[in-house]
Amino acid sequence: MKTFRRTLLAALSVAAITCSFQVAAQDFKPRIIRFGYGLNEVSNQGRATKLFAEEVEKASGGKMKVRAIGAAALGSDVQMQQALIGGAQEMMVGSTATLVGITKEMAIWDTPFLFNNAKEADVVLDGPVGQKVMDKLQEKGLVGLVYWENGFRNLTNSKRPVNKLEDMDGIKLRVMQNNVFLDSFKTLGANAVPLPFSELFTALETKTVDGQENPYNTILSSKFYEVQKYLTVTNHVYSPWIVLVSKKYWDGLSKAEQKVLLDAAKKSRDFERQDTRAEADKALADLKAKGMQVNELPAAEASRMREKLAAVNAGIAANVGEALWKEVQGAVAQARAA
Ligand code: TF8
């Protein structure tokens, strides 16, 4: 009896597999998805994009192919967003911070010191309020699938070590194309200049700007250590990346194709966060070995920085709406208590 049941089960599961393949064959059209990103192929962004591409191809039986195009070869974050909205490009990953011109609510993630650690970020971003902010993109022609980790941002420059806030005075600092970042660094005394990431290395090299701020991973993968001497550990904000699909493109996909993209995006997210954190753990030592002079902002100065930056919070709340501000604060408090 037992053997019979086992045989029956085996037969049934073979039938199920065959059946799902038949569904697959009908539901997947041959598709080529151009997926753009800003960092190098050899970066956390590049590695996770590669994994995403593999997962999509596997799950669609080779019908859906992802062409990963890195190093901003398809344009800066802002340019790619526009291409997605217009339907000229299918997918991308980039900073949530560069989306605020399209969806103002995205600025909530730019709140300085919003998260104390990555766990809080995961819980809030993957939770209901993270989804709510992501869904706002749809009315603007974009579909957000998942958040990846860019990471906690730290300050580099070529002028001097930043040991106290006053050391930032007059430093020409590249910031993302985003008002919260612009206001934050002006508040701290820097001469903040918005620039797309794709122009950053050259701007640092030619001394058009003196400094920038990004997670350790990016300072390493984009070789900023070649053109920046000083790194100050500030962890002033946690930066998410977001995987986006053109809504025009998305709406033309079958349910099965949409599921393939969403499932693969979730797998890539889990991989990306692990990979990013493992790399970040070692990156500081690597950056020192490459010759960067690293200092921690002394605790008293870090508190001064927090206090100064709290001044931008009211502006963010007004911009994204008090209700969303409170909801996110509540979600953070809950994540912190858990
Ligand atoms: C920045 C961001 C970049 C992203 C990337 C190009 O400083 O941190 O990492 O925009 O997708 O611009």
Rg for the chain (alpha carbons), in Å?
22
**pLDDT tens per residue across span 15-43:** 444 445 545 567 999 999 999 999 999 99
Q: Which helix (H) or strand (E) holds 278?
A: helix 255-289
Cβ of 197 less than 6 Å from ligand 1: yes
**What is the assigned CATH class of domain 154-237+282-337?**
alpha beta
pLDDT score of 5: 56
Which residue shows structure tokens 């194709």? 257
Q: Which tokens is 28 given?
A: 């997947």
Is any atom of ligand 1 closer than 6 Å to the C-beta of 218? yes
What is the position in ligand 1's atom list of the atom closest to the CA of 198?
A: 6
- At 107, which amino acid appears? A
Please determine, for the modelled complex, whether the ipTM score is greater than 0.95.
yes
Q: Compute, in angstroms, the gap from residue 38 CA to the centroid of ligand 1.
A: 7
> Would the CATH topology of 29-99+115-149+240-281 be identical to that of 154-237+282-337?
yes
Query: pLDDT value at position 4?
Result: 53
Is residue 99 lining ligand 1, measured as CB closer than 6 Å? no
Report the candidate in 214, 213, 212, 220 with the shortest Cα–Cα distance to residue 279: 220
State which residues of the chain have pLDDT below 50.
Answer: 1-2, 14-19, 22
Pairing label, strands 31-36, 293-296: unpaired
Residue 43 CA, ligand 1 centroid: distance in Å: 12
With the CA atoms of 298, 300, 303 and 309 taken in that order, what torsion angle do they form, in degrees rounded to the nearest 10? Answer: -70
Give distance in angstroms: CA of 124 to centre of ligand 1: 21
Closest alpha carbon to 268 in 55, 40, 36, 39: 55
Atom of ligand 1 nearest to the CA of 215: 8
> What confidence score (pLDDT) does residue 1 get?
46
pLDDT confidence of residue 19: 47
**How far is 266 from 282, CA to CA, in rounded Å?**
25
Q: Which of 164, 294, 153 is nearest to 230 (CA)?
A: 294
Task: Pick the residue whose CA is nearest to atom 12 on ligand 1.
Answer: 197
Map out the domains of the chain as residue ranges: 29-99+115-149+240-281, 154-237+282-337
- Whether ligand 1 lies within 6 angstroms of the CB of 103 is answered as no
Would you say 137 and 85 are in contact if contact means Cβ atoms under 8 Å apart? no
By the 8 A CB rule, do 328 and 336 touch? no
Helices (H), the chain: 2-27, 44-59, 77-86, 118-126, 128-135, 179-187, 200-205, 216-221, 247-251, 255-289, 299-320, 322-337
Which residue has 């969806």 as its token pair?
103
Burial class, 218, CB count within 10 angstroms (exposed 0-12 / middle 13-18 / buried 19+): buried
Rounded Cα gap, residues 227 and 287, in angstroms: 12
Query: In angstroms, rounded to a whole number, what is the distance separating the alpha carbons of residues 79 and 163?
Result: 36
Give the fold, CATH level 3, of 29-99+115-149+240-281: D-Maltodextrin-Binding Protein; domain 2 (3.40.190)
